[in-house]
Structure 1
Amino acid sequence: MAELNELILEQLIWIVGGMALLMVILLIVSIAQGAKLRKLKRKYEAMMAGSGVEDLESLLINLKIQMDSIEDEHKLQTDQLKTVMQKLTRIQGKVGVKRYNAYGELGSDLSFSMAMVNDNQDGMVLTGIYNRDGSYVYAKPLKGGESTYTLSPEEKEAITLAQQAE
């Protein structure tokens, strides 16, 4: 036992020196960790500032609820946009007009045929015929670019002009 005590006393300076070095290293690591923790705390406080909640869990739950609400609204708007696009194809947006002199009399091209069609070539043709005695207007429905009524060459040309319109 005396030999063990003597060995420890001889090595005591090295043991104390090693412990002191270990304490200095641990102190440096502790200071570095404290600095990182303060930096992280500042970031956390900046993130939580103005959020109206006390902890990160509540903030994440609120963000999840808001995200779900935004996704629901997006789906609703997407469905509405599809409905509008479907209705838009049925609107008579393409127009073609052909002016002409119906009877070959002296004068201007006062008669006309005007075709209004949608993307499906559905719509109508309006024809206004002018002569010395009066003016007459006729309307003919179109389905797929064709009518159940006989179409004049001018009406067919107006339909062609409308189909070519952008």
Structure 2
Amino acid sequence: MQNIINLMNGLHIYIIIGLIIIIIILFIMNLVILKSLNRLEKRYRKFMRGSNNKNLEEFIIGYLDSIDNVKNQYEDIRNLYKELNSKVSCCIQKISVIRYRAFEDVGSDLSFSIALLDEKNDGVIITGIYGRDESTTYAKPIDSGLSRYGLSQEEQQVLEDCINKRI
């Protein structure tokens, strides 16, 4: 132990000089770090300031509020779409018309059959028969593409044309 103390007494100048050099190096490193930190802080403040002196947090909160509003509008539109889609499926979507001559003694094709069907092929066939002395119009209901009443050749043709139409 005494040897170590004697060795240190002889080298204490060198130890002090070494410690001073280490302190100077640490001081220089501290200055470099502070300068770097100062530049980083300036960049951070500039970044957080954003535009129109609003900071980034206000921008993000504003955009998140906008996203919430869009989600609510999306849900409203989605519900409206479902409602409209269910209503449209029951509307007339396919139409077919055929004109023909019902009687040989009547000129022109003044008789007609019209098929009006929805998405499920439910609807009606309206037929108008024109003759010299009288004209008759009648309707036949259609359920799933079938009629419970007998169909004439023209009515069957207009029904098939209407069923085969694309929506």
Report deviation, 1:6.
5.1
What does 1:18-97 align with in structure 2 at a 5 Å threshold? 18-46=22-50, 49-50=53-54, 56=57, 64-97=64-97
Could you tell me which residue of structure 2 aligns to residue 143 of structure 1? Answer: 143
Amino acid at match of 1:137: T
**Structure 1: runs of 5 or more not aligned:** none
Report deviation, 1:160.
0.6
Instruction: Check the 8 A contact 2:106/2:131 in 1, yes or no.
Output: no
Counterpart-to-counterpart distance in 2, 1:114 and 1:136: 14
Could you tell me which residue of structure 1 aligns to residue 154 of structure 2? Answer: 154
Counterpart-to-counterpart distance in 2, 1:83 and 1:16: 83
Instruction: Check the 8 A contact 2:106/2:132 in 1, yes or no.
Output: no
Identity of matched residues, %? 26
Deviations, residues 95-147 of structure 1 (Å, cap 9, x unaligned) = 11111110123522111101010111111111111122243221222111123
Q: How many residues align?
A: 162
Bigger CA drift: 6-15 or 97-106?
6-15
Deviations, residues 37-81 of structure 1 (Å, cap 9, x unaligned) = 211211111068457xxx93x766665554444323322221221
Q: What is the SS of the residue equivalent to 2:105?
A: coil
Which has the bigger relative contact order, CA under 8 A and spacing at least 6?
A: 1
Deviations, residues 24-45 of structure 1 (Å, cap 9, x unaligned) = 1121122112211211211111
Amino acid at match of 1:25: M
Report deviation, 1:161.
0.7
Given the two structures, how large is their TM-score scaled by the length of structure 2? 0.81
**Structure 2: runs of 5 or more not aligned:** none
